[in-house]
Amino acid sequence: MAFDASLMSISTLSQLLRQSNSDFLCYDLGRRVQPISATEFAAIENQQAPYPYPVQGHACIALVFWPQLSDAGVEPFLWFLKFPVDERGLLEQSTVQEFITSVITLLGQQVTHALIEEQEQQLQQSPYLFTPAEEKRAALHARLSRRWQRPPSVHFELAQTALADPEHWQQVGVQGLHDVAARLADDTSTISAISQQFTRYPEPLRQALAIALEHQPIPAELANQLARQLQQQPAAELRADLLRSLAGATREAEVSKAIEHVLEDASADECVICCARLWSAFDPLCTPHVPLLPLLRALARQPATIFAALVTDLLRIPTLRPHVLVTLQRDDLPAGVREAWHNFIGGAR
């Protein structure tokens, strides 16, 4: 294969795709499936901004790309990429460059051409490609089909029917629930059905629906209804599912109240959900936001290993890190939180 010399100067994924005459979209697949704008992604790639949603020290990214000026119905290409971030939250550029070099060596400018079997096998051996969980793939597919105004999957109508009348819920597919969740803004009857029946759904259906809802920006009407139910719900398994379902609606005042209510006696699972899925509720730059101290109190009531893991996770989120550190250094920090924090930093030395 003859190389275009300009390819060897490429240092970012955006440059690689532009050089191949491709348009693209970027989504985070680490915490919640959510878009990353082209401007934000460019800043991340050029180490001008930390990766906003790292998980366990990695950025988990979906790059969706397609040839420019292609037909509207063309099937896009997908790369699911996982790169380490450094202690500042910046992408480790050497690993991105290693992936780019391997793609150029293997494909040249042909990144949107059909791969032969040998090329496909070699590409899949990259240590920077990963396979997301089924629900995240379903959430991404649902978002893309709605964005491009394509019909939902064949499972969509069955999921709608089951949420209205769950008698035959066992036949519902995961993709159908994610398609419903992505299209709730235009589906008042399903909003009403979920609002009225969420806590009465069979447990497997309710849990799968909660996961589908957590990856979408759900309508305020539904969010407020579920938040009110959360404040009235004593059953632990129902509280966890209600909490997850609100991850895409943390800007609603009713949701903030519900999170504060849960934190008064939060279980370990509920603490994990708050840190891993509802972290944006604690961002002080957003209105409304949940005070951080109730979360830290809830974490301090958990075993030391859970406190350590979840505080570490919060400290890796760029928007929260300064807020967490300032709060933990307050003179009026509750004794239990102070003790848990001192044990944590003592053990980390």
Domains of the chain by residue range? 5-124, 134-348
**Bridging pattern class, strands 34-36 and 22-28:** antiparallel
316 touches 324 (CB < 8 A): no
Residue 236: phi and psi, rounded to 5, are -60, -45
pLDDT in tens, 12-35: 999 999 888 889 999 999 999 999
DSSP 8-state code for residue 55: B
How many whole angstroms separate alpha carbon 182 and alpha carbon 283?
Answer: 25
Single-letter code of the amino acid located at 15: Q
How many whole angstroms separate alpha carbon 80 and alpha carbon 221?
Answer: 33
Q: What is the pLDDT of residue 1?
A: 41
* Average pLDDT value for the chain: 91
Structural tokens at position 304: 């030391």
The total number of residues shown for the chain amounts to 349
Q: Which segments of 128-236 are extended strands (E)?
A: none
CB neighbour burial string for 13-37, b if at least 16 within 10 angstroms, e if fewer: bbbbbebbebbbbbbbbbbbbbebe
Report field, pTM of the whole predicted structure over 0.75: yes
Biggest CA–CA distance in the chain, Å, is 67
∠ CA 17-39-148, rounded to 5°: 65
Percent of the chain with pLDDT over 70: 93
Q: What is the pLDDT of residue 306?
A: 97
The per-residue pLDDT string of the chain (349 residues; one tens digit each, 9 = 90 and over) reads: 444 545 567 889 999 998 888 899 999 999 999 999 999 999 999 999 999 999 999 999 999 999 887 666 678 889 999 999 998 999 999 999 999 998 888 877 667 766 667 777 888 889 999 999 999 999 999 999 999 999 999 999 999 999 999 988 999 999 999 999 999 999 999 999 999 999 999 999 999 999 999 999 999 999 999 999 999 978 888 999 999 999 999 999 999 999 999 999 999 999 999 999 999 999 998 889 999 999 999 999 999 999 999 999 999 999 999 999 999 999 999 999 999 999 998 855 4
